[in-house]
C-alpha cells in the first residue's frame, strides 16, 4: 500500500478480539517449530562450518604402519605411527571416532567431521538456490498462465508440461555433463537443478490462480479500475503464499536429492581435482560406496552424510506438513479437539456419526452469563 496507513490508525484502538488482528497468523504448530529448529542448526553449520572445521577436508592424514614379522608368517605385529614414512607402509584402513577425529577418518585418513562441515554449505546453497529459482520460475509461468488464460495459458502450460514429461535425472545428467562450470560452481549446478524442478510447482500454482482469478474480490478490484499487474501482485499472489511456500519447500527437497545424486554419479566435480569442485554430501557418499564402506562396517564414514540428508529432508517435510495444516483447517481441527478433550478430562470414543454425550445433567444456565455487552449491536 502506497498510502500512509499509520496516520489512519490514529483512532482509538479497536477492542482486541480473540482472533487477533492479523490476516495471516503464524501457525504455532509443533511440526513447524521442529522443522525450523533442525533447519536452523544446519544453517548455522553451513555458515560457520568451514571456519570451525579442524582439518582441511582434503588433507590426507595418512597413518603409516611398520610391519615387523616375527618367526614366520602369520604372526605379524603392526606398529602405527604418525609422521614420516621410513620403512613404514600406508595403512589403508579408516579409523573409527577418536578425540583427534570425532567422526573418524576416511580410507585416506581425511577427517570425516571436517568433510561434513565443509560439505554442508555447498549442499544447502545448491538446494536453496535451486528452490528459490525454481519457485520464481514456477510463479512466473504458473501465475501468468493461470491469470492471463487463453493462448498465453496454452503456451505456458505446454512449456511446463514438456518439462514435466522429460525424465528429470537423465536431463540433469546431460546438462551437468555439458554445461561448463557444472563441476566447479554451486551456482551453475543450482541453476541446472532449478531448471529441471520448476514445472510441478507451476502446475499447482496455475490451478490455484485459475480458481482465484474469478473470485469476487479479484473482480471487485478489476471493477474498481486496478491494473493487471497490481491485481496479480496485490490481490492474487498474497493468497498464493502458503502454496508458494509449500512449493518452495518441495522443490528444495527435490534439489537436495538431485544434487546428491549428481555428485554421487561424479557429475558435480571432485574436490581433489583441478579445478576443484565443492565438497558435498553426495561426494562423501560416492567415496563411501567407491570404497565399499557400507559392507565393511565403517559406519562413521557413511552414516553422517546420510543422517544429514535425512534430517534436512525431514525438516523440510515437517515445515510442509505444518503449512498444509495451516492451509487446511480440517487437518488442524481434529488434533486440537482431541487434545482439548483430553485436557478437559473427557474420555470418550469419538465415533464418526455419533455425537458424544458428556457430563451429567448440567444445571441450566438461566441467569447472568457472558460478559460482553453486545458490541455487535452498537456497531451499526
Show contacts with other proteins in window 347-376 (CB under 8 A): 350-351, 353-376
Residue 23 backbone class (left: φ over 0; alpha: ψ -120 to 50; beta: rest): alpha
Among 220, 233, 307, 331, binds other proteins (CB under 8 A): 220
Among 9, 51, 84, 229, binds other proteins (CB under 8 A): 9
If the CB atoms of residues 71 and 351 are measured against other proteins, the closer one turns out to be 351
- In degrees and rounded to multiples of 5, residue 225 shows phi and psi of 100, 15
What's the CA gap between 378 and 380, in Å, rounded? 6
Based on the shown chain and the rule CB under 8 A, indicate whether residue 238 belongs to the binding site for other proteins.
yes
Based on the shown chain and the rule CB under 8 A, indicate whether residue 28 belongs to the binding site for other proteins.
no
Based on the shown chain and the rule CB under 8 A, indicate whether residue 274 belongs to the binding site for other proteins.
no
If the CB atoms of residues 165 and 379 are measured against other proteins, the closer one turns out to be 379
Residue identified by cell 480440517 is: 330
Based on the shown chain and the rule CB under 8 A, indicate whether residue 23 belongs to the binding site for other proteins.
yes
Q: Which of residues 88-107 bind other proteins (CB under 8 A)?
A: none
The number of angstroms, rounded, from the C-alpha of 328 to the middle of its chain's C-alpha atoms is 20
What's the CA gap between 183 and 192, in Å, rounded? 11
If the CB atoms of residues 297 and 329 are measured against other proteins, the closer one turns out to be 329
Q: Which of residues 158-187 bind other proteins (CB under 8 A)?
A: none
Based on the shown chain and the rule CB under 8 A, indicate whether residue 219 belongs to the binding site for other proteins.
yes
Based on the shown chain and the rule CB under 8 A, indicate whether residue 24 belongs to the binding site for other proteins.
yes
Measure Cα distances from 374 to 63, 288, 380 in Å: 82, 70, 11
| Selection from 256, 271, 261, 259 nearest residue 114 by Cα | 271
Q: How far is the CB of 176 from other proteins (least distance, A)?
A: 40
Based on the shown chain and the rule CB under 8 A, indicate whether residue 226 belongs to the binding site for other proteins.
yes
- DSSP per-residue codes, 286-325: HHHHHTTHHHHT-HHHHHHHHHHHHHHHHHHHHHHHHHHH
Secondary structure of 181-206 in the HEC alphabet? CCCCCHHHHHHHHHHHHCHHHHHHHH
If the CB atoms of residues 83 and 377 are measured against other proteins, the closer one turns out to be 377
Binding segment for other proteins among 10-18, 56-64, 135-143, 260-268 (CB under 8 A)?
Answer: 10-18
Q: How far is the CB of 37 from other proteins (least distance, A)?
A: 28
Q: Which of residues 198-217 bind other proteins (CB under 8 A)?
A: 215-217
Based on the shown chain and the rule CB under 8 A, indicate whether residue 341 belongs to the binding site for other proteins.
yes
Residue 24 DSSP one-character state? S
Amino acid at each position: 500500500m502506497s498510502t500512509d496507513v499509520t496516520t489512519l490508525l490514529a483512532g482509538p484502538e479497536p477492542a482486541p478480539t480473540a482472533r487477533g488482528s492479523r490476516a495471516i497468523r503464524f501457525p504455532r504448530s509443533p511440526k513447524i517449530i521442529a522443522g525450523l529448529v533442525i533447519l536452523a542448526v544446519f544453517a548455522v553449520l553451513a555458515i560457520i562450518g568451514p571456519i570451525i572445521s579442524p582439518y582441511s577436508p582434503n588433507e590426507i592424514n595418512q597413518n603409516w604402519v611398520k610391519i615387523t614379522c616375527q618367526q614366520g608368517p602369520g604372526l605379524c605385529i603392526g606398529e602405527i605411527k604418525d609422521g614420516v614414512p621410513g620403512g613404514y607402509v600406508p595403512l589403508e584402513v579408516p579409523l573409527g571416532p577418536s578425540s583427534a577425529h570425532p567422526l573418524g577418518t576416511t580410507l585416506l585418513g581425511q577427517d570425516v567431521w571436517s568433510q561434513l562441515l565443509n560439505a554442508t554449505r555447498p549442499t544447502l546453497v545448491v538446494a536453496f538456490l535451486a528452490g528459490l529459482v525454481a519457485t520464481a520460475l514456477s510463479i512466473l509461468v504458473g501465475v501468468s498462465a493461470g491469470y492471463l488464460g487463453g493462448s498465453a495459458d496454452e503456451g505456458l502450460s505446454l512449456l511446463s508440461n514438456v518439462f514435466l514429461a522429460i525424465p528429470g535425472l537423465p536431463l540433469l545428467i546431460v546438462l551437468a555433463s555439458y554445461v561448463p562450470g557444472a563441476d566447479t560452481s554451486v551456482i551453475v549446478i543450482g541453476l541446472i537443478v532449478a531448471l529441471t524442478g520448476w514445472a510441478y510447482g507451476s502446475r499447482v500454482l496455475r490451478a490455484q490462480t485459475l480458481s482465484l482469478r474469478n473470485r469476487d474480490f479479484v473482480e471487485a478490484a478489476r471493477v474498481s479500475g486496478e491494473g493487471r499487474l497490481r491485481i496479480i501482485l496485490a490481490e492474487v499472489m498474497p493468497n498464493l503464499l502458503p502454496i508458494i511456500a509449500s512449493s518452495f519447500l518441495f522443490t528444495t527437497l527435490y534439489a537436495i536429492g538431485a544434487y546428491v545424486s549428481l555428485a554421487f554419479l561424479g557429475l558435480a566435480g571432485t574436490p581433489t581435482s583441478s579445478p576443484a569442485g565443492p565438497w558435498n554430501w553426495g561426494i562423501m557418499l560416492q567415496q563411501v560406496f567407491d570404497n565399499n564402506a557400507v559392507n565393511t562396517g565403517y559406519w562413521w564414514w557413511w552414516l553422517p552424510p546420510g543422517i544429514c540428508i535425512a534430517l534436512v529432508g525431514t525438516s523440510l517435510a515437517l515445515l510442509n506438513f505444518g503449512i498444509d495444516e495451516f492451509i487446511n483447517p480440517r487437518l488442524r481441527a481434529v488434533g486440537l479437539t482431541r487434545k482439548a478433550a483430553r485436557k478437559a478430562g473427557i474420555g470418550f470414543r469419538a465415533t464418526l456419526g455419533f455425537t458424544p454425550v458428556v457430563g451429567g445433567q448440567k444445571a441450566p444456565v438461566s441467569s447472568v452469563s457472558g460478559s460482553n455487552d453486545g458490541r455487535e449491536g452498537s456497531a451499526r
